[in-house]
A and B are shown apart, each in its own frame.
Chain A
Amino acid sequence: MTDVNSIKITPEIVKEHGLTEEEYQRIVGAMGREPNYTELGIYSVMWSEHCSYKSSRIHLKKLPTKAPWVICGPGENAGVIDIGDGQAAIFKMESHNHPSYIEPYQGAATGVGGILRDVFTMGARPVANMNALRFGEPEHPKTRHLLAGVVEGIGGYGNCVGVPTVGGETNFDPSYNGNILVNAMTVGLADADKIFYSAAAGVGNPVVYVGSKTGRDGIHGATMASAEFTEDSEEKRPTVQVGDPFTEKLLIEACLELMATDAIIAIQDMGAAGLTSSSVEMASKGGVGFELNLDNVPQREENMTPYEMCLSESQERMLMVLKPGREEMAKAIFEKWELDFAVIGEITDTGRLTLTFGGEIVGDMPIASLVEDAPEYDRPHVPTPVRETVDVAAPADLNKAVLDLIGGEHLCSRRWIWEQYDHMVMGDTIGRPGGDAAVVRVHGTEKALAISTDVTPRYCYAEPYEGGKQAVAETWRNLTATGAKPLAITNCLNFGNPERPEIMGQFVGCLEGMGDACRALDYPIVSGNVSLYNETNGTGIHPTPAIGGVGLMQNSDKMASVAFKADGQTILLIGETKNELGASIYQKAILGEDTGRPPLVDLDLERRNGDFVRALIENGQVDTCHDLSDGGLIAALADMAIAGKIGATVTVDDSLPNHVHLFSETQARYLIAADATVAETIYKEAQDAGVPVSKLGVTGGDTLTVGDAVSLTIADLTAAHENWMPDFMAAAE
């Protein structure tokens, strides 16, 4: 075996590890000597953007993270909120962008595996998976291949572990041509008094490794996730990890079985940067030291070096600190599930990470410096210039524009995707994919969780502050439209190269908007992830701060859904339509333009309208509701008609041109349908509450008619809506 630690550290090696000369000098200062090769590798991943958040930390600190129902905010493996009756919901979203571009199936699959581990590490049984996906334009030669692979990977992993994939969102835009986004979210349930944390404690306590063996997979994944893409990145295929969902399923069951005992002091999954980051984080949070004997690490390959063992990103592994004397009992559980179990070290009082291998010390670093001394940058940022307000032209043919829009890549049905996901396993999915939010019952209760992932990158690109607000508000609205009370969010902040001031300006703007929206809506951020350097050859993606919102429904029997339920019901529009077609999907898809300011989010109005709608659902007055977003009024009406197989006849006034009424993306709006007498009461209640309301028309028939502007049969709408994606994907074969 070559002794990697005899390799002399040169400026080239430092650079290959993604560290600047200044950062290297900082390491030398912290250690009081030159690091050896293994130590340099460990510093490089701990100080990578992915692990240290060095460019983003200073801004993330400003986000609101507290509320009376927040049990645990950012900083742990996942966020935890109280959902009453002694139960907690645990959730997080994470990116796996770069690996998914290189190898879409395994990249997406291991993304799902990683986020599942983040959630069950904390003691939760995962109950729902979601995702937020962005691909390049359909015409791009790689889009089909990437979409097919990512969807198969998400399904391949989630279906096998038996956690339903209940929804998500998918966008297509040229800015993702060379850098797709794969963001995966998991929600789990636990008893509020049985949450597990990562802070190690108790000098002398055993450090235990469980799960799969360690191989050479994904070495330097964390540094790859923090570097821009270049043409030759695709040659880096061997670093992509391979997922084993079967082992993950066994790991979930074994961990939950052990968690039902009182043996565990601390637990952490081995995610990016594997053994290194998990042990450093556990030791750092507990203010202790770790001594690890690398000879005891279960190994899948021969002749692995300490460097490789520390940096391997082999999947389906966990690190635990057990109470003394519980090793045998714990081992029996893991052996029952046919998983590796090894005591690889113990807790010390040195505050250092000490690594031994073959009887020698091969690494010895102060833990505080690995975490706290990581650089923190206040990178220069310039705000995105505010665009001019524009008047957006009407289409030549309204009927054709509607069909093109709902039968195009932006608004077409995502059925082709979600029929590849088992969205029903576990028997609690009561709001299936395709609605405003997915709804899963809290097993054995009347309660349910609503979950939605949203962001509108067009808005974030046009005006980051408004886009950030809108992303948060849209999840809030989607949860509300099912009748759930929105409680908290997780996020996945996907941006370009932070070393460019205009990209950093997008980041800062979006975060300010998100923070303001969270504060106004009492909707704190409890977990999240940042993915920077999403660029190819110097071109950044649209800023994409994906938000995953979670809400609680007390009585799931009252759940509202999108589909029209009966003929002859009155359709009410809650909220007011303004001339807001700037940066709209209509403008982009039909006119091929992207100009003007995006719709502005009035957070007071958002809250007033949403609280009003939610009360109607909770009271049982309304069970048909849809929020208005991309594509505006007509897209929402089409969704409701297609889902319910019931048409509608509506009229709009002449205060705005027809195409503005139909396609404007003004925020804080909902459509509801109810029997005429109920609708009359609601109308009066809305007026009394100062909530803008208008009577649009009635449900019924087999045609969707808007005045004399639009007349389309449900059959034609359905065909357009359903056919785009299967046709697009079939064209690949």
Chain B
Amino acid sequence: MKAKIHVTLKNGVLDPQGKAIEHALGTLGFDGVDAARQGKYIELDLTETDKAKAQAAVEEMCKKLLANTVIENYSIELE
């Protein structure tokens, strides 16, 4: 089973890299961009075949290592 994890900064946490992207897009003439937020995408190949167990395991991974919950949110997709 494959787990696809998106780690993003929480709303309200300043994202200097996102801000730079937004600014750069503006200077390139893309003026329809209101805000940009940068995050991380992580893909895991899992041996687990039970979806519920996999979900629980990946949740644990996110909390313990993959995301810093002080500043980051995460979302998990399993397929």
Contact = CB atoms under 8 A, between A and B. Distances in A.
A733 B26 CA distance: 10
B23 interface: yes
Contacts of B11: none
A733 B20 CA distance: 9
B27 interface: yes
Contacts of B27: 733
Nearest to B27: A733
Interface string A547-575: 00000000000000000000000000000
> What does DSSP make chain A's interface, helix, strand, loop or mixed?
loop
Interface string A696-733: 00000000000000000000000000000000000001
A142 to B, nearest CB: 16
Contacts of B20: 733
A339 to B, nearest CB: 22
A297 B24 CA distance: 43
Nearest to B20: A733
Nearest to B23: A733
A733 B27 CA distance: 8
A731 to B, nearest CB: 11
Interface size class of A (residues with CB under 8 A): under 10
Interface string B2-21: 00000000000000000010
A733 B23 CA distance: 8
Nearest to A733: B23
Contacts of B24: 733
Contacts of A733: 20, 23-24, 27
Nearest to A732: B27
A733 B24 CA distance: 7
A403 B46 CA distance: 64
A296 to B, nearest CB: 25
A546 to B, nearest CB: 33
A723 B23 CA distance: 23
Contacts of B23: 733
Interface in B20-51: 20, 23-24, 27
A733 B19 CA distance: 12
A456 to B, nearest CB: 36
A733 B16 CA distance: 14
B74 to A, nearest CB: 24
Nearest to B24: A733
A733 B28 CA distance: 10
Interface in A293-320: none
A733 B21 CA distance: 10
B21 to A, nearest CB: 12
A428 B71 CA distance: 37
B69 to A, nearest CB: 25
A5 B24 CA distance: 48
A169 B23 CA distance: 31
Interface string A419-441: 00000000000000000000000
Interface string B46-66: 000000000000000000000
B40 to A, nearest CB: 17
A182 B3 CA distance: 41
A567 B27 CA distance: 49
A161 B35 CA distance: 35
A537 B20 CA distance: 35
A204 B24 CA distance: 59
A268 B27 CA distance: 47
B17 to A, nearest CB: 13
Interface in A4-51: none
B77 to A, nearest CB: 26
A467 B20 CA distance: 43
Interface string A191-210: 00000000000000000000
B16 to A, nearest CB: 12
A542 to B, nearest CB: 32
A610 to B, nearest CB: 47
A172 B20 CA distance: 27
B27 to A, nearest CB: 7
A158 B18 CA distance: 26
A172 B27 CA distance: 25
B5 to A, nearest CB: 22
A697 B24 CA distance: 51
A141 to B, nearest CB: 13
B66 to A, nearest CB: 18
A33 B14 CA distance: 66
A175 B24 CA distance: 29
A664 to B, nearest CB: 43
A303 B20 CA distance: 40
B23 to A, nearest CB: 7
A152 to B, nearest CB: 13
B25 to A, nearest CB: 12
B28 to A, nearest CB: 12
A496 B34 CA distance: 47
A295 B24 CA distance: 47
B44 to A, nearest CB: 18
B22 to A, nearest CB: 12
A730 to B, nearest CB: 12
A733 B22 CA distance: 11
A300 to B, nearest CB: 16
A733 B25 CA distance: 10
B55 to A, nearest CB: 30
A97 B14 CA distance: 37
Interface string A579-612: 0000000000000000000000000000000000
4 contacts: A733-B20, A733-B23, A733-B24, A733-B27
Interface of B: 20, 23-24, 27
Ranked nearest first, the 4 interchain pairs of A and B with the lowest CB-CB distance are A733-B23, A733-B27, A733-B24, A733-B20
